[in-house]
Amino acid sequence: MFHWLEERPFFFAVGVFLTIAFAGLIEILPSFVEASRPTVGTKPYSTLELAGRNVYIADSCNACHSQLIRPFKNETDRYGMYSLSGEYAYDRPFLWGSKRTGPDLHRVGNYRTTDWHENHMWDPISVVPGSIMPAYKHMFSKSADLETAYAEAVTVNKVFNAPYNTAITMRDGSSVTVKLPATYDEAKADMLTEAKIIANSMKNQDVKDAVEKGEIPQIVALIAYLNILK
């Protein structure tokens, strides 16, 4: 049989490929599948959080901030538990980032609050003297793009089977359902309810008025997103 193969370089090459591919398959694939499964407590983004995530991407926060805590003691001291791959299961695209001009934000929801973000995004120097982060005042007047966020949620639900409207078990054993209504109008009503809770802890009157009128300024969506980074 080996003489037969030796005489036929093409089939020999195929044989070599299969042998090596087989090794790769059983070494790499299982651990890859295991690692990309959502960790317990990871849930898909609500539509408002997705809108905030899009603001984050549009304003290039990821150019200065990473979202990946490496397993080093000096990092876990500052940011908390190191990141696990399964925590990014619903990130499309992931925002690991490659440069830290500012701190990592993967768990910023654990130690910063709505009102702090409000102060910081309006004028970073007011809370962190000497900060070189730019101010993002325009986010307080511009409205977030809710249609795109809703379309995105529907897409990941249909195409990638992201588990909306399904009970998801959290780390403490409770279960949470992320709603994705069938129509945009219902979804918008839900987003407004979520936005009102955030606007209530904010001080900017223009933002409060906008939410009251049924509009959601970018800052509210962004804070909704930053608050669930845990």
Partner 1 sequence: MKNIVIVTILISLALLGIIFSYVGNIIGDDMVNILSMLAAIIILVITVGVGLKYVNQMKNDKASGQLADENWDGIGEFKNELPIGWAVSFLTTIVWAIWYWFSGYPLWAYSQIGEYNEEVKTYNKKFEEKHANISDDELNNMGQSVFLVNCAPCHGVSADGMDSKAANLTKRLDSISVKHVIMNGSNDGLVGEGIAMPDRNGLININTGNSISDAEISLVVDYITNGFVGSQGAEVFAGVCSACHGTDGTGIPMVAPNIKNFTVDLITAVLQYGKTGAIGKMPSFKTEDMRLTATQQKAVATYIIKLQEGSK
* CB-CB neighbours of 86 under 10 Å: 15
Is residue 226 within 8 Å of residue 115, measured between CB atoms? Answer: no
Cis peptide before 93 (omega within 30 of 0): yes
Q: Which does 72 bind (CB under 5 to 8 A by kind): partner 1, ligand HEC, none?
A: partner 1
Rounded to a whole number of angstroms, the minimum distance from the CB of residue 69 to ligand HEC is: 11
Q: How many CA within 13 A on the CB side of residue 155? A: 8
In terms of CB distance, is 154 or 223 closer to ligand HEC?
Answer: 223
* Structure token pair of residue 204: 């900017």
- Sign for the CA dihedral angle at 64, 69, 75, 81 comes to positive
What three-state secondary structure class fits 98?
A: coil
Rounded to a whole number of angstroms, the minimum distance from the CB of residue 35 to ligand HEC is: 26
Rounded to a whole number of angstroms, the minimum distance from the CB of residue 96 to ligand HEC is: 15
Member of 29, 128, 176, 189 binding partner 1 (CB under 8 A): 128
Identity (one letter) of the amino acid at 30?
P
Q: Which does 197 bind (CB under 5 to 8 A by kind): partner 1, ligand HEC, none?
A: none
Containing 4, the helix (H) or strand (E) segment is helix 2-6
Cβ density class 160-195: b for 16+ within 10 Å, e for less:
eebbbeeebeeeeeeeeebebbeeeeebbebbbebb
> What residue number has its CB nearest to ligand HEC?
102
Distance CA 226, CA 110 (A): 10
How many residues contact partner 1, by CB under 8 A?
26
Member of 14, 20, 101, 212 binding ligand HEC (CB under 6 A): 101
Rounded to a whole number of angstroms, the minimum distance from the CB of residue 81 to ligand HEC is: 15
Member of 36, 101, 126, 175 binding partner 1 (CB under 8 A): 126
Within 122-141, the residues that bind ligand HEC by CB under 6 A are: 124, 128, 131-134, 136
Q: Which does 10 bind (CB under 5 to 8 A by kind): ligand HEC, partner 1, none?
A: none
**Residues at the contact surface with ligand HEC, assessed by CB under 6 A:** 56, 59-61, 63-65, 101-103, 105, 108, 111-113, 116, 124, 128, 131-134, 136, 222, 226
